[in-house]
A and B are shown apart, each in its own frame.
Chain A
Amino acid sequence: MTKNKFTLRRAINNMNLVRFRFWFQIVAFVLIVYGGYVGLDLGDKLPTFACVYNGEGTGGKCYAGMLQHDLKHPIDMFMGYAGYAFLISLGMFMVWFWILNKGWCGFVCPLGTMQDWLTILREKTKIRYSEYSWANRGKIKSIKYILLILLLLLPVMIANSVFGLPKLPNGLSMPFCDICPGRMMIPAFTGHFNQFYIDFSSKTDLVMTTLGMIIVGLFLVGSFVKKRFFCYFCPMAALQHIFSKPALLKLYKDGAKCTKCGDCYRACDMDILEIADDVTSKNLVTEDCTLCLKCVAACPEEGCLEANFAGLSIFESTKEGFILRMAMDQHKENHAH
């Protein structure tokens, strides 16, 4: 029994994470984008971009849309049943989120998956990747919080006069959905290109839908040259980070075992420096982390990095796993040549 358990653990630690993640993402993508056609309905509080505009195909819906909807109530109604509905939705979002933590971004998010596919395409075409300038990294990181604040504030300001300011037009009721590239890209996978449009019905709609079109253009080119281009600006990532602490899935680091070789940093799609540099913190799920676990797979130190689910180590760095994965990469490279 002990031997079997040991073997299973070894098999997991030695697995080809890139391949496992690639197929996991495909399954998640199919369930979320096409699940509705077979009756799958995971509700409308998913902590990932399962787009409500995907019509009948969607197997579940994104909480960002529900959050904007829940906040668009006059204050007296919000203090009543609308407020309860908001709390229930938020609670359900947290329950979903606490299961996978930011693993929703790394393994489930259809928009993240699309970006990973574009990265694969770039690698195949041997085009060099780009990086965000380190001088502007702080500003780039703050964009998602600004977007989150706007996402929360604008719907409130439609139904209420905040600080005596006039109420905002109804065209801003789903401000983030208007500019989210998922609104155009996800329905496109079910053959519906009807979200690629510019709305001329009002000035607000014109501005918001034009912004949406600009952002989807930036998303497609940006994700091609920069890994996880959009995730740096994602307000869902900012919202998730607020509730990340009690989540079940964690990324732990044993700083005493770290040699600061930097392999984990180089493997990270989000260029998170702390993963290599921080030897004092135990939990390393940062605001930008997508819990893709590539750092764990790239780490050559025994037990230095581990993915931990509810106190149970489910995937950890091992010397053997590192050597095997290096050999797999070498084999793949030789095969390609």
Chain B
Amino acid sequence: MKQIIIAIFLIISLGFVSFPLLADDSLWLDEVKKKSCCTVGGKKLEAKEFQIKKGTLADNEKIRDLKDAKIYIRNTDNQITEQNLSGEKISFVPEYKGNYHLFFEQKRVQDEVLQVNFSSLRIYNKEGNISKSLLKEIRGKTNDSHYGLEPIAQWPFQIIMERPIRRHHINCCLYSGDIAPFKIYYQGELQKNIPLRVSTESGWNNDVKPDEEGVVSFEIPRSTYTSSENEKKHSEKMIVEATYEVNTSGTYEGQPYRSVVYVMSMPLSFGASPLEYESRVLGFATAIGVMLIFSLGLYYNRRRKRKTPKEIYFDEE
């Protein structure tokens, strides 16, 4: 009897653990594809297309009606433009080279709760017009300038990604094993008690609490569930999400509500840790082996040919 109870308890526990921690109603921005769209100033530009997905990374559906949603696009000059949405696709042409941030927003009242969904995504446009980034091109890249940016004024609730602590590679991308820090803001104030839900494509889910300074950080996990035999340098998606409920009443588009629930998601991607396909021991062994062989070869050569270096004489005409 006792074993049956333990077995039932274990099954229930496993069920909870394996259940995705992302909320069912979480929305997130997903880049679809890029295609040639138009020509500006004689140069071909690429339109970037996005869609909104609902659910988890493993089990999601595309939102087909975005009529009550809008998107803010922050360009390379930190200027924000607003775009009302309709249909199912979000499309824009990033003309200039540099970082663009997309901020998707959707509000609706359901069961007297104002549900506010936010999702932000950073894209880097590498083939655009460089006239706005001329100074940067001349001077050279600055490290990680897109991290730790100020929250945008249009949003009361926001997750901001700080500069990650990279353990494996150069400053370009995230890799498993890196530490990703985040801060959560409400009305511009740093919140120190809102946990971050993290979910990776391979099925790692976790709730991460902030530290005393309000920084929520976690080590990006190794992809244990994905076979990396064929593609060792594979990349994986990850979503970080935070929810904040405020007890306030009001009306939105004529519909009354008694509280507001803010949900923000931030889709990211990371690569497999180089430790999965690199051998440092063999690297050191090769270098030391070469040093030994080269040194012994030199020693042998010098013993065999004992001679002083030649003097060079110049004619004195």
Stretch at the interface among B131-139, B150-158, B197-205: B131-139
| Residues from chain B with Cβ under 8 Å of A130 in the complex | 298
Contact of B294 among A193, A200, A221, A259 (CB under 8 A): A221
Give the contact stretch, choosing among B16-24, B85-93, B284-292: B284-292
Given A36-B143, A198-B279, A262-B314: A213 and B287 interface contact (C-beta under 8 Å): yes
Among candidates B128, B278, B316, residue contacting A260 with C-beta atoms closer than 8 Å: B316
Query: In this assembly, does B183 line the interface, its C-beta being within 8 Å of a C-beta of chain A?
Result: no
Chain A hits for B166, CB < 8 A:
55
Which residue of B has the minimal Cβ distance to A221?
B294
Contact with B along A130-146 (1 / 0, CB 8 A): 11000000000000000
* A265 CA / B287 CA spacing, docked (Å): 33
Is the CB–CB distance between B170 and A81 below 8 Å? no
Residue-by-residue, is B236-253 near A (CB-CB < 8 Å gives 1, otherwise 0)?
Answer: 000000000000000000
| Nearest-neighbor residue (CB-CB) of B291 within chain A | A217
In the complex, the answer to whether B286 meets A43 with C-beta atoms within 8 Å is no
Residues of chain A lying within 8 A (CB to CB) of residue B277: 199-201
List the 7 closest A-B pairs by CB distance, nearest first. Answer: A43-B140, A217-B290, A44-B140, A213-B286, A260-B314, A201-B277, A201-B232
Query: Could you tell me if A198 and B314 are in contact, using CB atoms closer than 8 angstroms?
Result: no
Within 8 A of B (CB), among A186-204: 193-194, 196-202
Give B267-290 interface residues, CB cut-off 8 Å to A: 274, 277-280, 282-284, 286-290
Cβ of B236 to closest chain A Cβ, rounded Å: 15
Contacts of B12 in A (CB 8 A): none
- Nearest A-chain residue to B289, judged by Cβ: A217
Contact mask A34-49 → B, CB, 8 Å, 1/0? 0010000111110000
B19-63 contact mask (Cβ, 8 Å, vs A): 1 or 0: 000000000000000000000000110000000000000000000
Structural contact, B290 and A214, CB atoms closer than 8 A: yes
Question: Which has the most chain A C-beta neighbours within 10 Å: B44, B288, B289, B291?
Answer: B291
Can you name 11 A-B residue pairings with CB atoms under 8 Å?
A43-B138, A88-B138, A91-B138, A193-B284, A194-B280, A197-B278, A217-B286, A217-B294, A218-B294, A259-B316, A262-B314
| Interface, chain B (partner A; CB < 8 A) | 43-44, 97, 127-130, 134, 137-143, 166-168, 170-171, 232-233, 274, 277-280, 282-284, 286-291, 294-295, 298, 302, 309, 312-316
Q: In whole Å, how far is B94's beta carbon from the nearest beta carbon of chain A?
A: 12
Does A254 touch B at the CB level, under 8 Å?
A: no
Closest to B293 in A: A217
Residues of the A chain whose Cβ atoms lie less than 8 Å from the Cβ of B168 = 194
Q: Which residues of the partner chain A approach B289 to less than 8 Å between Cβ atoms? A: 217
Chain B neighbourhood of A36, CB < 8 A: 143
> For residue A225, which residues in chain B have a CB less than 8 angstroms away from its CB?
298
* A276 interface hit (Cβ, 8 Å): yes
Residue of B with least CB distance to A81: B130
Q: How far is the CA of A55 from the CA of B167 in the complex (A)?
A: 10
Q: Assess whether B284 is in contact with A196, with CB atoms less than 8 Å apart.
A: yes
Q: Which of B140, B170, B291 is within 8 Å of A53, CB to CB?
A: B170
Contacting residues, chain B, for A156 (C-beta < 8 A): none
Q: Write out the residue numbers on chain B whose beta carbons fall within 8 Å of the beta carbon of A43.
A: 138-141
- Out of A52, A56, A66, A196, which one reaches B283, CB within 8 Å? A196
CA distance A61 to B279 in the complex (A): 26
**Per-residue interface assignment for chain A, residues 48 to 68, with 1 indicating a CB less than 8 Å from any chain B CB and 0 otherwise:** 000011011000110000100
Report how far A326 CA is from B43 CA in the complex, Å.
64
> In the assembly, what is the distance between CA of A225 and CA of B143, in Å?
38
User: Roughly how many angstroms separate A84 CA and B309 CA in the complex, as a whole number?
Assistant: 51
Cβ contacts under 8 Å, B130 to chain A: 81, 84-85, 88
Within 8 A of B (CB), among A115-168: 128-131
Known: A42-B140, A194-B280. A82 touches B127 (CB 8 A): yes
